[in-house]
Structure 1
Amino acid sequence: MEFKNKLEEKGLIFNELEGKAGDFKKKWEEVFLNNISKSQKKKIKIDSFLWHIFSYEKLPCLKGEEAIEAFDKQTKKECYIFEQHEDNAFKVMNTHKLKAKDITTELGEYLSDIYIVSSCFTWTYIVTHEKECGPYFYKKED
């Protein structure tokens, strides 16, 4: 997983959680899509990409530069990171070091469909493989 190398390069303290990405995807959907009907989920093809909730504007969020700025300013302690089409996830303990630029290649492109979510699932930051979609930042209201 290319993203694991990025975490190591940044000096982040993390545990790789083998085979756990599916559990985090399920919880992510339960928490952030709890008010979206099954028919709406099907219509926007949420099974293909969870981030469709934002690209189809079914949930308000920050996009692009605003999302990057919000993520970089967000107080971050522990978080979970998973990719859409990978089986493993990561628990990152010193997330305060993680910035949006750390999730891009040297050319400024996004690595993959990456989901970063706070350990208490109150906010999420997503970068997609499509340049015209995202990144997205969403924070649940208090």
Structure 2
Amino acid sequence: MRDEIHQFIDKLHDEELHKMYWIETIMHNQIQFKKNLEHKGVLISVLSDANDESEKIINRWDNTFAQNVCDVIREAIHYDQFRWHIFSYEQQACLMGEEARTAFDDIAKDVIYVMYQRSPEVYMYKNAKDLTADIFDHEQDIYLFDREFTWTYVNTHESMCGPYFYKVK
């Protein structure tokens, strides 16, 4: 396998090689992130697509945490691009910045769901009780929430936006 990869890479032009470097860097960071979580004892599983489980959970996130935001406002704030716009456009009251990080650190979270903005997959993290906000500082557009959908923590790709923590009242 390594020989085949090396042969493939040897045939790339500089521009293509540059792109491959960044793709590999992203993949490496994802693998390291997952290994770090597993080293902390977190059990990670991807929810099944067989029964649309991920889609149902994503829809429930929308229906729970953005339920007070009408379709007209969702369109105006580009909710379809980034769900977290409900917080950055102040359409949903929430904690921000250090207050959000502290709230996430302090909340009980043995089992949580995790999803990313541009991914159809939802992950379940078990044994997540010791996870803290700083672990997710380099994750972009990541949404973490409990199985009961009572709270969500969001880390964005924008340094001036977030993180956000919202708890259903």
Give the Cα separation in 2 of the matches to 1:39 and 1:5.
Answer: 42
Query: Residue by residue, what CA displacement relative to the aligned partner does 1:15-64 show, whole Å, maximum 9, x if unpaired?
Result: 12255544332111111111211101111110000000000000100000
Q: Which is further off, 124-133 or 74-83?
A: 74-83
Please show how residues 111-122 of structure 1 align to structure 2 within 5 Å. 111-122=139-150
Q: 1:57 aligns with which of 90, 107, 119?
A: 90
- Equivalent-residue separation in structure 2 for 1:48 and 1:96 (angstroms): 30
Q: Once the two structures are aligned, what percentage of the paired residues are identical?
A: 40
* Matching residue within 68, 73, 77 for 2:110: 77
The answer as to 2:41 corresponding to 1:11 is yes
Please report the TM-score for the alignment, with normalisation by the length of structure 1: 0.87
Q: Provide the alpha-carbon RMSD of the alignment.
A: 1.7
Which structure 2 segments of 5+ residues have no match?
1-26
CA distance in 2, matches of 1:86, 1:80: 13
Which protein has greater RCO, CA pairs closer than 8 Å, 6+ apart?
A: 1
Q: Which runs of 5+ in 1 are unaligned?
A: 105-109
Secondary structure of 1:27's partner? Answer: helix
Describe the SS at the equivalent of 1:134.
coil
In the alignment, does 2:152 pair up with 1:124?
A: yes
* Bigger mean CA deviation after superposition, 70-79 or 2-11: 2-11
Contact 1:81–1:116 (CA<8 Å) still a contact in 2? yes
